[in-house]
Amino acid sequence: MSPAEENAIRQSARNGWLLSAPALIVLFLAASGPLLIVVWYSFLTANDTGGVIHKFSTDGWVGILFSYDIFEEKWVLADAHLTIFWRSVWLSLATTALTFAIGFPTAWFIATRPAKERALWLFLITIPFWTNLLIRTFAINEVIRNEGILNTALIWAGLIETPLRINYTETAVLIGMTYVYLPLMVLPLYATIERFDMRLLEAAYDLYASRWRTLRQVILPIVKPGIIAGSILVFVPSLGAYVTPRILGGGKNMMIGNFIELQFLQGRNWPLGAALSVTLLVIVMAALLVYVRVASRDRGTGHG
Amino acid sequence: MAEKGFQINRLPGFATIAVAAFVLLYLPIVTLVVYSFNASNSVAVWGGFSLHWYADAWANQAVKDATVRSLVIGVSAAFLSTVLATLAALGTTRRRAFRGQTFIYVIINQPLMVPEVVTAVALMIFFGIIKVATGYQGLGYLIAAHTAFCIPFAYLPIRARLESMDLTLETAAADLYATPWQTFRRVTLPNLAPGITAGAMLAFVISLDDVVITEFVKSGGQDTLPTYMLGQLRRAFTPEVNAISTMLLAVTVVLLTAFFLLTRKKD
């Protein structure tokens, strides 16, 4: 390579950095950088009136699993915290499973429409996707609450006499999260199903495979990358959900996101809140890392 | 060969579930919109058509202030993030891959990956320190936070547009003795314009919809429309919230339709 060429390449890289720099600086100041402060705060001492005292302590981290019993003067396992973690995990997994159960047939349906219609069906999925999460949560609340249209309709039809008390239960949070995150499952599933070679189905049926067997042994293995992408795209925001459990779950059915808020705004234990935030961040990053691994492996050995 | 009406790609029950999914997806939103026109005081009983919840919302000073604040933040954040994203897209496309490019992608897309509540907490602590140190309490913090998380949304359509443009036009311009600035101004920018507009619209929608980060970063009396609604939801449900939601919904749908028309592939 001639010196002139080398120079041009170096110049090009430098321009790339210079052009990206303003965005990187803003992102560092108002998004990424402050995350480091959270790590720092998780190792400080809580101030009872809010904020922190700048003295090293691991109480924030210990407080994730244990709480200090002032009468017994020792740390005991914090059942209330474990309940919240368990609820967050199982609700997120259940949301992922439910969105898949509904989202897979939906994505398949869209992908098998005539090409002209597909854009419209997809658009119908993307509108809720871009619509304010708060509005969608509020909308589902209108449907499931005690005087909501679901109960009104069921009572009118004579199926029940007293309204189903769905609101402020874990079921309400599950219904709400399934509702708001469904598009996140449908979109990546659609993207993989759209590339699926339908001639494989002909081959399967010609070889006397039943529909069920074709679904299980031909379709699902091939669209697996889409299933993983969709599952992670639903699981990650579910685990960090804040708005939906707050509105539909009420104070009793907190998830990790609400628990973190509680430490900062009412509970006044900032180091614990910071330690919880770092934990949530690490779990989410691990899930995303799995996703990147699978996505790149799929691209590497892709079929067609 | 095949049984009558056998369609190769049809799976039993799938169409039914799909249609049900679309109905369930839209039923709550439609309900919300319909009840915003409800004359009755209750959110459950239909008392005839009326616009009075819109009139109430319009007459409510808190709603007016929140609307203005949402618009100021949304327009500022959309403008700033689009400028920054355009520069970054120009820096990271149509050139030989360089060291650190992946790092730039990760930082730009970081707001899409970190749970919002974690970023919200981080910004609350960081901006809290700055608030104490400088005494400044204004909207600047919200604008900065919104600008940052809008960058990836503005960046994606701009980058997609740039990647579909090859460098031949720019080379031609340079051959005709255009200066780099002239080339950018007269060739690159006009071609890139649909991507930039699309990016700005997405950024605006995202800023307008944000609840969590705004809720944590705002100082007292800095409610935007979504945080105002969140506060209202904690008290009594009145159709006023439906009316505000419907208006926000209308803005989103109009901008999204425009976005799709702008980014639609020309056949």
- Asked whether the beta carbons of residue B118 and residue A243 sit closer than 8 angstroms, the reply is no
Q: Lowest-confidence range among A100-104, B39-43, B255-259, B263-267?
A: B263-267
Does ipTM surpass 0.95 in this model? no
Segment A245-267 shows an average pLDDT of 88
Quick: pLDDT tens for B120-160: 999 999 999 999 999 898 999 999 999 999 999 999 889 98
Q: Is the pLDDT higher at B152 or at A151?
A: B152
Contact A251, A265 (CB under 8 A): no
Q: Is the dihedral of CA B178, B184, B189, B192 positive or negative?
A: positive
Residue A23 is predicted with a pLDDT of 95
Using alpha carbons, select from A78, A79, A88 the residue that is nearest to residue A256. A88
- Asked whether the beta carbons of residue A24 and residue B35 sit closer than 8 angstroms, the reply is no
Search chain B and give the residue with CA nearest A183.
B25
Q: How far is A69 from chain B (nearest CA, A)?
A: 27
Distance CA A194, CA A110 (A): 9
Segment A116-135 shows an average pLDDT of 87
Quick: pLDDT tens for A72-115: 777 888 888 899 999 999 999 999 999 999 999 999 999 998 88
pLDDT above 90: residue A148: no
Distance CA B183, CA B196 (A): 17
pTM for this one? 0.88
Q: Is the pLDDT higher at B130 or at A211?
A: B130
Q: Grade residue A267 by pLDDT with cuts at 50, 70 and 90.
A: low
| pLDDT more than 90, % of chain A | 38
Search chain A and give the residue with CA nearest B118.
A277
**Residue found under tokens 């009558």:** B4
Search chain A and give the residue with CA nearest B252.
A131
Cβ-Cβ contacts under 8 Å between A and B: the total is 251
Where would I find the H helices in A78-114? 79-111
Which chain A residues have a beta carbon less than 8 Å from that of B88?
19-20, 22-24
Residue B169 is predicted with a pLDDT of 86
pLDDT above 90: residue A294: no
Quick: pLDDT tens for B66-117: 999 999 999 999 999 999 999 999 999 888 888 888 899 999 989 988 999 9
Task: Name the token pair of B104.
Answer: 């730039």
Q: What is the DSSP string of A175-189?
A: HHHHHHHHHHHHHHH
Segment B7-19 shows an average pLDDT of 83
Query: pLDDT averaged over chain B?
Result: 87
Neighbouring C-beta atoms of residue B212, cutoff 10 Å: 26
Quick: pLDDT tens for A35-58: 999 999 999 998 877 778 888 988
- A197 vs A193, A215, A219, B9, CA distance in Å? 8, 13, 10, 10
Q: Is the pLDDT higher at A255 or at A289?
A: A255
Listed in sequence order, the residues at least 6 apart from B213 whose beta carbon sits closer than 8 Å to its beta carbon are B116, B119, B120, B123, B145, B146, B149
Which chain A residues have a beta carbon less than 8 Å from that of B31?
139, 142-143, 149
